[in-house]
Amino acid sequence: MSGIPFVKMHGAANDFVVVDHREPFLPEPADAFLRRLCDRRRGVGADGVLLLERDPELDFAMRYHNADGGRAEFCGNGARCLAHFALERGLGRAGVVRFRSGAGVQEARRVGGGAIELHLGRVAAGGVPETLEAAGHAFSGREFRVGVPHFVIEVAQVGPVPVAEWGAALRRHARFAPAGANVEFVARVSAAGGADPARVAMRTYERGVEAETLACGSGAIASALWVAGEGACSPVEVLTAGGDVLVVSFESVVDGYDVRLTGPAEVSFAGTWEQP
Task: For the chain, list the strands marked E by DSSP.
Answer: 4-11, 14-20, 48-53, 60-66, 71-72, 96-101, 104-110, 115-124, 130-134, 137-146, 148-154, 182-191, 194-206, 211-213, 236-239, 245-253, 256-264, 266-273
* Cα dihedral sign, 43-117-74-145: positive
CA distance 262 to 275: 35
**Annotated active-site residue in 38, 75, 81, 233:** 75
Is 38 noted as a catalytic residue in this protein? Answer: no
Q: Which residues contact 148 (CB under 8 A, 6 or more apart)?
A: 72, 73, 74, 75, 103, 181, 182, 207, 218
Q: How far apart are CA 9 and CA 11, in angstroms?
A: 7
Q: Which of 38, 81, 216, 233 is catalytic?
A: 216
CB 246 within 8 A of CB 217: yes
Paired strand residues for 15: 10
- Indicate left, alpha or beta for 158 from its phi (over 0: left) and psi (-120 to 50: alpha): alpha
Nearest by Cα to 15 from 270, 268, 275:
268
One-letter amino acid of 172: R
The question of whether 216 is a catalytic residue gets the answer yes
Active site residues: 75, 216
